[in-house]
Chains A and B, each alone.
Chain A
Amino acid sequence: MTKSINIAKLEARFQAKVDAEQKIEPKDWMPEAYRKTLIRQISQHAHSEVVGMLPEGNWILRAPSLRRKVALLAKVQDEAGHGLYLYSAAETLGINRDELFEQLLTGKAKYSSIFNYPTQTWADIGTVGWLVDGAAIMNQVMLTRTSYGPYARAMVRICKEESFHQRQGYEILLALSQGTEEQRKMLQDAVNRWWWPSLMMFGPSDAESTHSAQSMAWKIKRKSNDQLRQEFVDATVRQAEYLGVTLPDPDLKWNEERGHYDFGKINWDEFWAVVKGRGPCNKNRLKTRRKAHENGAWVREAAMAHAEKRAARQKEEGIA
C-alpha cells in the first residue's frame, strides 16, 4: 500500500518536472516504462547510425572524384561517431553496449527501415543525403528538446553534423542536375526510388502509432509522426523544383486552405513488410554487421588480454 502510494508520488513529481520542461538526468527517479522506452528508442537510433554506414559505405570506394570520396568517407565516419554518442546515452540508462549490440545482431532490436533499401547508383548517395538525412533532421531537431538530458544533448551535436550532410547530398545532386543527360536520368531515377521510403521514415500515421501518445506525454516526442512528415514534404517540394526533378507523386499539390502540400497515399503494406524483415537488404545488412562483429572478436579479445597482462606487469613492478 505505502509502496504504491510512494510510486504514485514519484510519478507525479516526475511528470511535473517534465511538464515544467526540466530535463530528466540519469540519476533522477524515472518510471520503468520511461526508461525502457528510451532504451528502445535511443538504441534503435544508434543502430540506425551504424547500419546506415553500410548503404553509404557502398560507394566510398567508387566515389567519382577525390573530393567526393573524402567527403563521403568523412560523412560515414560521422555516423560511426553518432552511433558512439548514442550508445553512450543509452548506457546512462543502465544497459551496456555489448547487450545492445547483441540485440541488434540477433534481430531483436530494430533500426531505421530506410537502410534496408539498396544504394544502386552514385545518385543514390546524393539522394540519401538530401531526402534521408533531411527526414532524419526533422525528427532530430525535435529531439534536441526531448525530456531526457543525455539524449537531448547528443542530438544537439548530431543535428549540426546532419545538416552539413544534407547540404553535401544536395550538392551532389546539383552537380548531377547540371551534368550530362545520363547524369540527369540517374538523378531522377534515384529520387523516384527514395521518395516514398523517405516519407515512411516518420513511421505509421498517428492513428496507427502504438507508442506515440505516451511518448508525447513524457515529452520524449514533441511532434506527431504526421506533423513531422508534413513539415518534411513542405520543405522538400521547393528543393525538388530547384533541382529540376519530379517527385513521383501525382497527388502532390499545394493546398491553399491548409497552407500545406497534399500528398498521395503511402504504401503501408510495403512499410510493414520492410519493418518485418522483408525489405531488399534486411538480411544482408544484418549479415554484414554480424560478420564484422565475429571477424573482430579475436581483436577485441586480444586487446583485453593485453590490457590485463600490462596491468599485471605494472602491479608486479610496483611490488618489486
Chain B
Amino acid sequence: MDQAAALLDYVLRLADSNLVLGQRLAECCGHAPELELDIALTNISLDLMGQARSLYQYAAELKGNGCTEDDLAYFRTEREFRNPLLVEYPNEDFAYTILRQFLFDAYNQLFYQALENSSDARLAEIARKSIKEIRYHLRFSAEWCIRLGDGTELSRQKMQTALDDLWDYTAELCTPNATDQTLLSTGIAVDLEQLKAPYFERVEEILTKATLRKPDYEPFQQGGKEGSHTEFLGHLLAELQVLQRTYPGAEW
C-alpha cells in the first residue's frame, strides 16, 4: 500500500467511526431516559458529526476531482466503510448505548491525544480541536458507567449483559492493520500497540468502580477497519443514505 492510499484509508476510518457513532447516538434523540440525558447524548453526537465533517472534508481533498464530504458519507457502500465494529452496535437499551460510548471514548481519548503529534499537520490540527470534546465525552460516559453499574441490582445486570456482548469488539480498537503499519514509519499514524496497555488499564479501573465483572474471554472480533462489518451497518447506512441515493445529483 502506498502512503497516499494509506492516508486516505486512515482519514476515512476516523471519519466513518465518528459518523456511525454519531448516527447511533442521534437515534436516541427524543427517546432518552430523561431530558438532560437527551441533551447530553445529542451534544456528543453533534461533536462527533462535526469532527466527522472536518475529516471527510480532508479526505475529499485527498481524493480530489471535486469529491465532497457528502460523496464520501452518502455514496460509499457497507464494504467501503472503515469504522471499527464497536461503533455500529445498536442501542439495544441505554446500557448498550452508554457502554459502547465508554469503551470507545476511553480508546478515542488516548488515540486523539497521540494524534496531536502526528507528522500530518492537518490531522494534528483536527486532533487538537477534537481532544477537548473527547475528554468531556469520556468523563460523561465513565460517570454513567459507574452510576449504572453501581446503581440498582437491575441496572447492574443490564450493564453486565451489555458489557459481555460489547467486550468482544474492543480487540479491534488497538490492533494495527496494514494501513497503520504503512503510516507508522512516516510518523503520521498513532502507534496503536502503545495504546493497548493504557486502554485496558483505564477500562478496568472504571469497570471496577462500576462493580462490573470483566468478561472472562479474550475479545476477538475484527474486520471493520478493512470493511468487513456486522449485519447492523448496512441498515444504518440504508437509512442514512436514502435521500441522496433516491435523488442522485440533487442539491439539498
Contacts and interface: CB of A to CB of B under 8 A. Distances in A.
B30 A53 contact: yes
A60 interface: yes
Interface in B140-161: 146-148, 150-152, 154-155, 158
Q: Secondary structure at chain A's binding surface: helix, strand, loop or mixed?
A: helix
Given A70-B53, A122-B243, A302-B147, A84 B33 contact: no
Interface string B217-252: 000000000000000000000011011100101111
Given A53-B30, A305-B152, A299 B94 contact: yes
Contact of A180 (B32, B50, B247): B247
Contact of B151 (A175, A288, A291, A305): A305
A309 B52 contact: no
A62 interface: yes
Interface residues on A, range: 35 or more
Interface residues of B, number: 49
B34 interface: yes
Given A64-B243, A66-B49, A73-B45, A300 B152 contact: no
Given A62-B239, A298-B154, 19 more contacts: A54-B30, A60-B26, A64-B243, A66-B52, A66-B69, A70-B53, A73-B42, A76-B29, A77-B29, A77-B46, A122-B243, A179-B252, A183-B250, A295-B31, A297-B33, A301-B154, A302-B147, A302-B152, A303-B148
Interface of A: 50, 53-54, 57, 60-70, 73-74, 76-77, 80-81, 83-84, 87, 122, 172, 175-176, 178-180, 182-183, 288, 291-292, 295-303, 305-306, 309
B246 to A, nearest CB: 9
B133 interface: no
Given A60-B29, A175-B252, A179-B250, A300 B46 contact: no
Nearest to B24: A61
B155 A84 contact: no
B188 interface: no
Nearest to A61: B239
5 contacts: A60-B29, A65-B252, A74-B46, A76-B29, A77-B29
Nearest to B154: A298
Contact of B158 (A87, A288, A298): A298
Contacts of A50: 35
Nearest to A60: B26
A238 to B, nearest CB: 25
Given A62-B240, A66-B69, A303-B147, A80 B155 contact: no
Interface string B14-31: 000001000100110111
B37, B42, B93, B148 interface centre (most CB from chain A within 10 Å): B42
Nearest to B159: A302
B70 interface: yes
B32 A296 contact: yes
Contacts of B151: 301-303, 305-306
A87 to B, nearest CB: 8
A81 B36 CA distance: 8
Give the top 7 A-B pairs by smallest Cβ distance, nearest first: A296-B33, A302-B151, A302-B155, A299-B33, A64-B243, A64-B252, A53-B30
A80 B39 contact: yes
Interface in B69-107: 69-70, 73-74, 93-94
Nearest to B57: A66
Interface in B33-70: 33-39, 42-43, 45-46, 49-50, 52-53, 56, 69-70
B48 to A, nearest CB: 10
B29 A66 contact: no
Nearest to A68: B252
